[in-house]
Structure 1
Amino acid sequence: MEQTFVALKPDAVQRGIIGDIISRFERAGLKIVAMKMVTPDEAHFHEHYENIGQLISRRGEEVYRVALAAMMEAPVVAMVLEGIDAVEHVRKMVGATDPKESAPGTIRGDFTHISRSYAVSKGRTLPNIIHASADVKEAAEEIKLWFSPAEMHTYQGAHHRVVHGRKP
């Protein structure tokens, strides 16, 4: 079973749509094995955005500062989802990072519409409501950063056989 990290960003918390988003993952058959609401400090976000995601290296200090400001506006709901090919499946459900490019039916496609170009032209944050690990390696690093082993749970859900298939 594969695990992936998801963070519901402050704009999702502020808009009161976290339940809608979490429900989508559960309806898809993904299992929540860790979840908490937290208000990380700048050092934590630097570890997440630069040491793991290389945001400053790829996009520059200004982009990082704008992202940091947005992430520190309100709490974040951090969670670990588990399922078959969880990283790839969650990325498809989330949609493109730029909400303008997210297809209808994806989380960003249904709950956001601001484009990166609009946000940049106005010097604003990009309210795209959710972060999902880009690949299996990143997921492992992010999970380790956001959750201790004691916060991770193992259990079999009531729908396990239906979601994962039965053996005849």
Structure 2
Amino acid sequence: MIKPDAVERKLIYPILNVIFEEGLCVCFISERIASSDLIFKHYQEHLIANNDIEKRLREYYVDKTVVLAIIKGDNAINRVRKLIGSTDPSLSSKESIRGKWGMDSFLQAEKENRSCRNLIHSADSLSNAIREIKIWFPEFNIHNFIA
């Protein structure tokens, strides 16, 4: 998911180009306005663990544009996560997506009681990728994709 801060800064194509240059396939892509229902389903485990996060998610995502992509390739999850960099942009290597274009940090976000603007999200496992694809693309037949 390319998050609202990256969309607003017109970083969609630069981010996608990094993924293409890695030799990965962007097999499905969609631009959406994020609803509270979809965002809360996506971040369900975080909502359970942290009561304060609902406000932060609502302010960061709801009624804003996100770009969702399904990426395929050998070891795609690990390769994409390496390309993205650390969740905290201030700790990301300068070669990563967050290192190149990130302008925020967890420390600053916490001081301001908001979500960290870290540009992009990627699933951390196949099971989470499947879960997230089912949330955002319920019409997508995931079994044909991973078979």
TM-score (norm 1): 0.79
Q: Which stretches in structure 2 are left out of the alignment for 5+ residues?
A: none
- The answer to whether structure 1 residue 63 and structure 2 residue 57 are counterparts is no
- The answer to whether structure 1 residue 76 and structure 2 residue 70 are counterparts is no
CA distance in 2, matches of 1:16, 1:42: 23
Task: Report the counterpart of residue 165 of structure 1 in structure 2.
Answer: none
Given that 1:14 and 1:74 are in contact with CA atoms closer than 8 Å, whether structure 2 keeps it comes out as no
Higher relative contact order (CA 8 A, sep 6+): 1
Deviates more, 1:121-130 or 1:98-107: 121-130
Given that 1:10 and 1:73 are in contact with CA atoms closer than 8 Å, whether structure 2 keeps it comes out as no
Task: Report the counterpart of residue 23 of structure 2 in structure 1.
Answer: 29
CA distance in 1, matches of 2:8, 2:103: 16
**Percent identity over paired residues:** 27
CA distance in 2, matches of 1:86, 1:111: 22
Given that 1:10 and 1:72 are in contact with CA atoms closer than 8 Å, whether structure 2 keeps it comes out as no
CA distance in 2, matches of 1:134, 1:150: 20
How far does residue 146 in structure 1 lie from its aligned partner after superposition?
A: 1.1
The one of 20, 36, 39 aligned to 1:42: 36
Deviation per CA, 1:104-128, whole angstroms, max 9, x where unpaired?
Answer: 1000011013210111112233110
The one of 127, 130, 139 aligned to 1:140: 130
CA distance in 2, matches of 1:10, 1:17: 10
CA distance in 2, matches of 1:96, 1:68: 23
CA distance in 2, matches of 1:126, 1:102: 13
How far does residue 65 in structure 1 lie from its aligned partner after superposition?
A: 2.0
Deviation per CA, 1:136-161, whole angstroms, max 9, x where unpaired?
Answer: 1101111111112279x97xxxxxxx
How far does residue 18 in structure 1 lie from its aligned partner after superposition?
A: 0.6
The one of 96, 100, 103 aligned to 1:113: 103
Task: Report the counterpart of residue 75 of structure 2 in structure 1.
Answer: 85
Which amino acid in 1 is paired with 2:119? Answer: I
Q: SS state of the match for residue 52, structure 2?
A: helix
